[in-house]
Chains A and B, each alone.
Chain A
Amino acid sequence: MGKKINIWYFSSFLISIAVAIPIVTVFSSFFEATGNYSSILKNTFLYDYILNSLLLLIGVLILTFVIGVGCAYLVSFYTFPGVNFFKWALILSFAVPAYIYAYSLTAFFENYGTAFSILKNLFGEGNYNSFIPKFDGMMGAVISISFSLFGYVYVLTRASFHYQSQNLIELGKNLGFSKKKSFFKIILPSARPAIVAGLSLVAMETLSDFGSVSFFGISTLTTGIYNAWISFDDLTLANRLSFYLLIFILGLFVLENLSRKKAQYHTPSKGGVKSKTLIKLKGLKSFFAFKFCATIFFISFLFPVLQMLYWTIIFPKHLTDLNLIELFSNTILLVFLSSIVLISLAFISNYGNRVSRSKFLEVLTTFSISGYAIPGIILAVAFITFISWFDSNIVNFFGFKSIKSIFIGSIVGLVTVYFVRFYSLASNGLKSGYLKINYSIDESAYLLGYSKFKTFKNIHIPYLKNSMFLIGILLSIEIIKELPITLIMRPFNFETFATTAYVFASQDLLEAAAAPSLFLVLIASFFILITSKYILKD
């Protein structure tokens, strides 16, 4: 191995270690004493919490799989009225965070909510409360989380379908398969890495979600984590519970990896992506395809937006009170800085893993990115704890000035924790892009005398431009929506649309939270729009 390999290896190693810091901090809780909450928990609701977490997870995974893969399949292989609109419009669901979806769902269906007002205006006074379905509890949480997260599965699966192009359907036809059989036997299995990548992101976000879960008052393991910390002042136990959650997620990854065994998912190096001839749907089939996509688009995006718009119109004062320019520039600053940091580092790490082909690095990366399953607030607290420990034990030991104010309550600290939090998103996304570049391409480049760096710069980066843009959007949107980390890490007098919405919502002023939420969604939508054109071009 040459020297250059070592640099890549080393960088990749360092990045993984940095991402793993909060996980290790959380793990260190196993060496500390806990209070008596663990026995209370065991005697009361522990199994309920686990059961509810599993129910939530299974519900969300099924729903996001059906919606995400269903939509991706329809828009990738067929034409029907509105298909070009739905291609990008379905991504708009990303713009709505689960907690804002939860606000909207509740506001619409609650006693004397929007649905009540509509019925009253249409049919006059009446006791509608008992007829209006209440989407709360487990049902509300599954719906809110699924409709705000299915985009992961949709986007990644669609990208995968896109590269498969027509070859597979043609293959199915040649084998005499029906469309259905082609779908289940060829198309679905070949998109598996993408689907799994999407679903695992969904799974991690679901298990670490606290906003919508606590809003709907369902008791999952995160409830246990929060009770331990907030009510019993037992951060140690909270950390341990978070770690169990993480082990669970890691277990899922390992299972998936094992079941995939040695299957490789490379596109053929020759021929590349064939231009597509889409199958035109007619009659009833076309109508159902349209109806399916339209329904998903309405529920996932139009419904929450309309609810917020309704509030903003009824209570315009909340809109005029907002300092839009400041909120906007703060939000964009965070998006810009974090995306650059994340994409660059994810690139370096992925390339390092690729050139070194080290099993150890692979495992380390997988381990470190599982931090995504730790609730954001626990992650931020772990980071603060680590900085504090590092400062008093290492920095102080060498007599340097305290680094606390650089990393706690500053933009630098905020971006660092975002990096840790969203690294798996960036890394996984690039990885699935990388999987599509055959190793033979690298080897050809080396034969042509390209250095490792030149191969990276001149071949991988242009090749992965699409993945990069895709990840860029995903990251931007995640950061625009991010709440718990921003809340605890931000400097004085620094508000984003998400924190403003939270501040109102926490006082039970969802009407006032509507205006900042609406802007949050609009900005995120704008990001999706400008980049979706680019993605859809090819």
Chain B
Amino acid sequence: MKKILLTVLMLSLFKTFALANEVNVFSARHYDSDIQLYEKFTAKTGIKVNIVSGKDKALQKRIIEEGAESKADLYITADAGRLGAFASKGMFQNSLTPAIKAAVPSNFRTSKWTGIAKRARIIYYSPERVNANDLNGMTYEGLADPKWKGKVVIRKSNNIYNQSLVASLIKNNGKKATTEWAKGIVANMARDPKGNDRAQILAVAAGEADLAVANTYYLALMLSGKKGAEQQAAAKKVLPFFPNQEDRGTHMNISGGGVLKNAPNPDNAKKLLEFLLTKEAQEHIVNNTFEYPMIDGVEPHPLVKQMGLGFKQDLNTKVANYEKNQAVALEVMLSAKWK
């Protein structure tokens, strides 16, 4: 037994001493398709990609406590607020290279991290029960209108996408107005918040509610048939609506990454970021995850295009600001009794 224990101990030690041409990725965004991308990167550059996937805050805590001993080079996660929060702790180094700067619009990056793909958080409605005219000029703010009483489904307040959305509302309308708004939303809820984004869309399809708030890629995922024939059929009973087209535009969020302060292989990490922003990689991402591309010159997946392309994105509310208001956003939602 001792021998086995020793061998394992040695192996785990050796693993950390192995100084290969590699890049170590901590990822809270774990699509299978990302793994294929990393393989492509290795094939191109000879740099091996090592991965630990996990939950956002837990990974962050591990990186922080590992400190100077940390092997992590690149941190990847979904949601701009999470990236911002980690950056505010000083955990990233300057991640940008000229290539990244050139590829990514300034609204979707800071000097510490960059977006890799985009998603919008939009409204879904039942064309059977909601007249398209009623949605004319519809906004996130309008979801709190009493005329939608008992008709809205949305996730719980501790969902990070909701927190970013509400953070953007606080940024634009202030805390007080947003608190009133949150109370209006709670009053309009068709049921206590439960389930993931897809469950909200399904609730509209099943007639439990008329309006749902969810990210764009969930509908495309269902329409693609990857979730089975039943869900594909259900998705067709629901239509997407891009809110706030007459003012600031639809709320955008990103998944993205940054090079870590104590990265042992910062150059390789930057190379990987650059690779993820190439046309080849972006095409791979959008066709597998149904997100929007981060760079120009790449088309989204046909199913995403079909949902509507020329919509106005909110480019005034910088995604880098979500972090500052996320905790306030949850406070606002909780005080409105948003479960």
Contact = CB atoms under 8 A, between A and B. Distances in A.
Q: Do A and B come from one complex?
A: yes
Given A231-B163, A410-B15, A499 B53 contact: yes
Contacts, number: 169
25 contacts: A40-B331, A44-B335, A111-B234, A112-B206, A117-B228, A129-B206, A137-B194, A217-B192, A217-B194, A227-B330, A231-B158, A385-B61, A404-B69, A406-B13, A408-B62, A410-B12, A411-B11, A411-B12, A488-B62, A492-B52, A492-B71, A493-B50, A499-B53, A507-B30, A512-B32
B8 A412 contact: yes
B234 A492 contact: no
Contact of B65 (A337, A388, A504, A506): A388
A216 interface: yes
Interface in B181-207: 192-199, 202-203, 205-207
Contacts of B32: 321, 503-504, 512
A513 to B, nearest CB: 11
B61 A112 contact: no
A503 B35 CA distance: 12
Interface in B12-32: 12-13, 15-16, 24, 30-32
Nearest to A234: B327
A404 B331 CA distance: 36
B337 interface: yes
B65 A384 contact: yes
Interface residues of B, number: 66
A231 B326 contact: yes
A160 to B, nearest CB: 31
Interface in B134-184: 156, 158, 163
Interface string A480-508: 00001001101111100001000110111
Contact of A508 (B8, B156, B218, B234): B218
B80 to A, nearest CB: 15
Interface of B: 1, 4-5, 8-9, 11-13, 15-16, 24, 30-32, 50-59, 61-62, 65-67, 69, 71, 85, 156, 158, 163, 192-199, 202-203, 205-208, 218, 221, 226-228, 230-231, 233-234, 326-327, 330-331, 334-335, 337, 339
4 closest pairs, A vs B, by CB? A492-B50, A217-B194, A111-B206, A388-B65
Nearest to A391: B69
Contacts of B59: 488
A45 interface: yes
B166 to A, nearest CB: 11
B87 to A, nearest CB: 13
B54 A111 contact: no
Contacts of B55: 377, 484, 487-488
Interface in A37-84: 40-41, 43-45
A246 interface: no
Given A404-B67, A508-B196, A412 B9 contact: yes
Contacts of B69: 402, 404-405, 408
A388 B68 CA distance: 11
B158 A40 contact: no
Nearest to A129: B206
A301 interface: no
Contacts of A506: 30
Contacts of B207: 127, 129-130
Contacts of B8: 333, 337, 411-412
Contacts of B334: 40-41, 44-45
B30 A503 contact: yes
Contact of A381 (B50, B61, B231): B61
A366 interface: no
Majority-rule SS of A interface residues:
helix
A454 B291 CA distance: 66
A136 B57 contact: no
- Residue from the set A41, A219, A340 with the largest chain B CB neighbour count within 10 Å: A219
A130 B206 contact: yes
Contacts of A255: none
Contacts of B326: 231
A492 B9 CA distance: 15
A494 B337 CA distance: 41
B146 to A, nearest CB: 23
Contacts of B327: 231-233
Contact of A111 (B13, B62, B203): B203
Contacts of A36: 331
A268 interface: no
Contacts of A129: 206-208
A117 B65 contact: no
Interface string A512-532: 100000000000000000000
Given A377-B55, A388-B65, A408-B69, 11 more contacts: A45-B334, A129-B208, A333-B8, A337-B8, A388-B67, A404-B66, A408-B62, A484-B58, A487-B54, A491-B15, A508-B196
A394 interface: no
Nearest to A404: B69
A116 interface: yes
Contact of B194 (A136, A231, A499): A136
A219 B205 CA distance: 26
A344 to B, nearest CB: 9
A230 interface: yes
A511 B228 contact: yes
Contacts of A377: 55, 58
A377 B56 CA distance: 12
Contacts of B231: 112
B128 to A, nearest CB: 12
